[in-house]
Structure 1
């Protein structure tokens, strides 16, 4: 699963982003946001992330865009980086190769180091990943130079052991909360944590 690769995947598949370790993982951080007049938040009716139809299941090795509530220019800019980040993470695990320049253009801190470390563990164990995800943004809040994004994922990724058998129990759905920070004109993902597993969520 994609989550285990970003310490977000709760030590399973794609989720292995930043909150998981071999010692059982760390607890997800609780984010406290100051209420300020400058804050914008969207979480109402969703719209497709692009003009194409949203698939029920993703293609192998790809991230399909589901619905997104991003509305303001700042929200849309942060959402674009969030989608691109997950696309790169899924590609890394599927291809078994890291593009550090591409990843660090989209992420920093744990959101960058977590996937890279997980990929190295996968390679050392001879593991590969198949499948993909449909990623949707269910809530987004921008306060100054910080954005918090809540996402829903339809997940078909499976991590395979060296012998070709599944190495982990896959997740059909997972949700995340991620933090992005803006430095100059650029947003970067700095934290991603899984908030639920195998609970169906609205991605279309």
Structure 2
């Protein structure tokens, strides 16, 4: 009987600590922008290419992510910020996730309620924003306000190439401390790999159709 108990305990330990039993780490590798995101169940990643991807939790959209590339460069050209270019871009860009228009109303975020900066587990700079979300009803002539976020902007820039990875909650995900802790854990796993040059990225994405 004692031997059976020992065997049973051994099997339980193997089940709990062996990665093959549901805790194996997976990776999302973005070759275009040369970064990797690591994750474990219940998370999954669904990629749409061009730097856009969803992070799923238990099969539902937990967070949405996009690499801000061309819009970052355009911002620098047009705004010509003199100090902290990344922060200047992030403060304006984070608000776009709220924008929607329809025949009955619109939604938008014009105000940042809070902003904080932290460094990820792999040394990446992160700016985190909580926004004031406004839902305007044209028919009832009403406005409702709530809090949206956190929206995280991760600096994945390379020498001469400004890049930001924006991660924000999925549409059905409510703002909560649990969300914040989980998304922080995911961001901590992001690591940059030796980057491709701009010319290499053009060839990888466009083939021979981008430039003549």
* Structure 1 and Structure 2 fold alike (TM over 0.5): no
What's the TM-score, normalizing by structure 2?
Answer: 0.33
What's the TM-score, normalizing by structure 1?
Answer: 0.34
Highest CA radius of gyration, 1 or 2? 2
